[in-house]
Amino acid sequence: MLTRIEWWGGVIFVLWAVLYGMYLRSADKNAGFDWGRLFGHLYYLAPAVVLVGYFYPLDRPWLRHAYLGLVAVALLLAVVGLVQEVLELRESDGKDKDKEEEDAEETGPVMLAVGVFLANAPVLVACGLGCYKAWPMVQQLLQR
């Protein structure tokens, strides 16, 4: 094994790779530079780096600070991304209601939350693990 990543970390990475692959396939390759597209790439890549960092000891202070910064960035991107996704889903739900489908079911908030979580599980789990690792460092910083 070339890395210290545990088997369950590998499972998260495989799921992450599937999600990221789907995102890359949906990208328009000829679109050129786009801020939204850049945000999308960072949304997936930042948690991946956070997850790798979770399995490694951060012996140096600068490593710990860098990891803290990365976790903060990944969390911010995850929150913004999720809010965007929820808003888009609600918008498309509203459009479905406008069509004359009498038996169209409205997605409840719980189902919406479950759906969004499942669709972004690797990203969220990576951010969660990063927060778990970063929390003692934050406490240390606050105690100073």
Partner 1 sequence: MSQNAHTLHLFFDDSMQTKYCQLMFHHLCTGNLEKAQRFANDLGGIDLAALWDSQDFFNGSVQAKDRGLQLKFESSTHAGIPLRLLETLFAHGLRSAVAEVFYDQVGETERMHFDKGLWVTHREFYERNPALRAVVNGPQEVSEAADRSDDPPEGTRNPRSPVPIARVREQQEEKEREGREAAEAVMDLFKGMRESGVSPVKGIIGVLLLRAAFKGLLHAVLFTVVTVLLFKGFWLWMSLGLVLAVVLPLYYANSERESLRS
Q: How far is the CB of 21 from partner 1 (least distance, A)?
A: 12
* C-beta closer to partner 1: residue 13 or 67: 13
Amino acid (one-letter) located at 20 = Y
Using CB under 8 A, list all residues that contact partner 1.
1-7, 9-10, 13-14
Q: How far is the CB of 13 from partner 1 (least distance, A)?
A: 7
* C-beta closer to partner 1: residue 8 or 35: 8
Q: How far is the CB of 11 from partner 1 (least distance, A)?
A: 8
Residue reference for tokens 């910064």: 69
* C-beta closer to partner 1: residue 9 or 122: 9
Q: Say if residues 133 and 67 touch (Cβ distance below 8 Å).
A: yes
Q: How far is the CB of 5 from partner 1 (least distance, A)?
A: 5
CA nearest neighbour of 54 among 121, 134, 122: 134
Give exposure, 57-77, as e/b (b: 16+ Cβ within 10 Å). ebeeeeebeebbebbeebbeb
Report the distance separating Cα 20 and Cα 45, nearest Å. Answer: 9
* C-beta closer to partner 1: residue 3 or 140: 3
